């Protein structure tokens, strides 16, 4: 008789029992069952690596729920899967290539995609193994990967349907651009971090009178793309400037003074520089007032030809040079330290640049309206209920969703172009 271990070793016990559960089919959901259904689709972990403590906690909570509902007599489906995580996985493999002294462009698209599939096979197996070692009672016969052919076909089908219904469209719009990843990002893929910056107080000269107006900005380099300055219609300090023009510092371009209630009366100087090509709020102002939209950066966030003498400079180098030139010309009169939130790419942490770009979008307002109604009339319930407020806040202030990405790994948009540039979605 073997000696009784002095300490409990869970590994052989857990492995033995889990194998018995799988063999007995305890986790498999019967689609023909008459029992009340209960289903959870697992939030699919990314194939960027292995599971961490957050995954362990989240999946434990789900496992508690599905085991409880099985004991209560429901027909339970806990649907497992993994997410291809387009930009995130591409970045991981690109870093791997960089360590080897190569990059995706040297490999070419097909070879790079094959390399990512190899990564997926390696990490995907490890992730499923980790979930099983946790004892997750998923229906493993139904395990899916978001790039499986069936799911890829579903993505294409839904894209075409939404396009035909007018809910997907392509437009030249201001997007979150990552200069390192060379792709547009959705609002949810931008992480805002508090950054030590500065308010730069600039002087713009009024063309007709020669007087100057003071404008404060955190991004003096974007003055290269200014196409207006704005004042509030009820601000008595600037009533005489309605319809006037000012001269853009350094470049000498003449731009209009516009009047709009968006300008805050009690913030800063009450005069706002408007750069429709590089600020989301300015973009909307520009569309309202039919302003020119000037893009001053290329895809690497270097100043392009629209930046005149600053062309070719990185955006941060351009800022330093422009600040020095403004100081030399007497058009920069004050610099104040300022803490503010700045958007960064959620994968590589590069500062995001708002840029005009031709991208595909989902029209969110009609979809958000339906989703809000489902919660308000009780068809969908939040547990605990106070999370409804977060949901309402998000959907009531939602913007159209940019869904196109300039990356190689992931679903491809089913849009085709002829030699004349005409687009066909099918």
Burial class from Cβ neighbours inside 10 Å (0-12, 13-18, 19+) for residue 318 reads buried
* Domain identity same for 197 and 278: yes
Q: How many CA atoms lie within 13 A of 110 on its CB side?
A: 0
SS3 at position 409: coil
* Domain identity same for 211 and 230: yes
Per-residue pLDDT of the chain (426 residues; tens, 9 = 90+): 678 888 999 988 999 999 999 999 999 999 999 999 999 999 999 999 889 999 999 999 999 999 999 999 999 999 999 999 998 999 999 999 999 999 999 999 999 999 999 999 988 889 999 999 999 999 999 999 999 999 999 999 999 999 999 999 999 999 999 999 999 998 889 999 999 999 999 999 999 898 999 999 999 999 999 999 999 999 999 999 999 999 999 999 999 999 999 999 888 789 999 999 999 999 999 999 999 999 999 999 999 999 999 999 999 999 999 999 999 999 999 999 999 899 999 889 999 999 999 999 999 999 999 999 999 999 999 999 999 999 999 999 999 999 999 999 999 999 999 999 899 999
Single residue among 303, 325, 345 that ends a domain in this structure:
345
- Residue 288 is assigned to a structural domain of this protein: yes
- DSSP per position, 86-97: HHHHHHHHHHHH
pLDDT at 105: 92
> Kindly report the CA angle at 175 between 171 and 181, in degrees rounded to 5?
120
Q: Look up the CATH number of the domain holding residue 67.
A: 3.40.50.620
* Domain identity same for 196 and 220: yes
Strands 353-362 and 401-402 turn out to be: antiparallel
* Domain identity same for 179 and 219: no
Q: How many CA atoms lie within 13 A of 346 on its CB side?
A: 14
* Domain identity same for 381 and 316: no
pLDDT at 6: 86
- Residue 156 is assigned to a structural domain of this protein: no
* Domain identity same for 336 and 261: yes
* Domain identity same for 177 and 203: no
- Residue 154 is assigned to a structural domain of this protein: no
pLDDT at 17: 95
Strands 75-79 and 37-41 turn out to be: parallel
- Residue 74 is assigned to a structural domain of this protein: yes
* Domain identity same for 118 and 96: yes
- Residue 292 is assigned to a structural domain of this protein: yes
Q: Please tell me the total count of domains within the chain.
A: 3
* Domain identity same for 414 and 271: no
> 242 is written with which tokens?
């309605």
* Domain identity same for 41 and 98: yes
List the domain range (segments joined by +) for residue 378.
163-188+351-425
* Domain identity same for 322 and 254: yes
Q: Look up the CATH number of the domain holding residue 394.
A: 2.170.220
Burial 29-51 (b: 16+ CB within 10 A, else e): beeeeeeeebebebebbbbbeeb
Asked whether 361 and 169 are in contact (CB, 8 A), the reply is yes
Q: Look up the CATH number of the domain holding residue 264.
A: 3.90.740.10
What is each CA distance from 194 to 97, 238, 242, 342, 351, in whole angstroms? 32, 33, 36, 6, 12
Q: What is the pTM of this model?
A: 0.84
* Domain identity same for 40 and 169: no
User: Residue with structure tokens 């993994």?
Assistant: 82
- Residue 78 is assigned to a structural domain of this protein: yes
């Amino acid at each position: 008789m073997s000696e009784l271990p002095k300490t409990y070793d869970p590994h052989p016990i857990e492995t033995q029992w889990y194998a018995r559960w799988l063999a007995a089919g305890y986790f498999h959901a019967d689609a023909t069952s008459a029992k009340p259904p209960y289903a959870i689709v697992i939030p699919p972990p990314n194939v960027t690596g292995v599971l961490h403590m957050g995954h362990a906690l989240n999946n434990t909570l789900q496992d508690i729920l599905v085991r409880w509902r099985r004991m209560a007599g429901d027909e339970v489906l806990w649907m497992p899967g993994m997410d291809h995580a387009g930009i995130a996985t591409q970045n991981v493999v690109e870093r791997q290539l960089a360590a080897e002294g190569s990059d995706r462009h040297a490999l070419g698209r097909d070879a790079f995609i094959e390399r990512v599939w190899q990564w997926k096979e390696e990490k995907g197996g490890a992730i499923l193994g980790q979930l099983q070692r946790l004892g997750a009672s998923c229906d493993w016969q139904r395990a899916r990967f978001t790039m499986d052919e069936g799911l890829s076909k579903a993505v294409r089908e839904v894209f075409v349907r939404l396009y035909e219904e007018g809910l997907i469209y392509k437009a030249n719009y201001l997007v979150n651009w990552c200069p390192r990843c060379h792709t547009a990002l959705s609002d949810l893929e931008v992480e805002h971090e508090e950054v030590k910056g500065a308010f730069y107080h600039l002087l713009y000269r009024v063309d007709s009178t020669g007087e100057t107006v003071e404008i404060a900005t955190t991004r003096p380099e974007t003055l290269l793309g200014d196409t207006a300055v704005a004042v509030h219609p009820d601000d008595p300090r600037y009533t005489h400037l309605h319809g006037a023009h000012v001269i853009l510092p350094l470049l000498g371009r003449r731009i209009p003074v516009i009047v709009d209630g968006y300008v805050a009366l009690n913030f800063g100087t009450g005069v706002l520089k408007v750069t429709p090509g590089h600020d989301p709020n300015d973009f909307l102002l520009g569309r309202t007032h039919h302003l020119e939209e000037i893009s001053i950066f290329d895809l690497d966030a270097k100043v392009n030809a629209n930046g005149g003498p600053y062309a070719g400079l990185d955006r941060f180098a351009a800022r330093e040079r422009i600040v020095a030139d403004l100081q030399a010309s007497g058009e920069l009169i004050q610099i104040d330290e300022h803490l503010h939130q700045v958007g960064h790419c959620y994968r590589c942490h590069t500062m995001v640049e708002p840029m005009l770009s031709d991208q595909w979008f989902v029209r969110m307002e009609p979809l958000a309206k339906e989703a809000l109604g489902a919660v308000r009339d009780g068809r969908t319930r939040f547990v605990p209920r106070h999370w409804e407020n977060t949901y309402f806040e998000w959907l009531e202030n939602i913007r159209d969703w940019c869904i196109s990405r300039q990356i190689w790994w992931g679903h491809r948009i089913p849009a085709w172009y002829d030699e004349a540039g005409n687009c066909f979605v099918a």
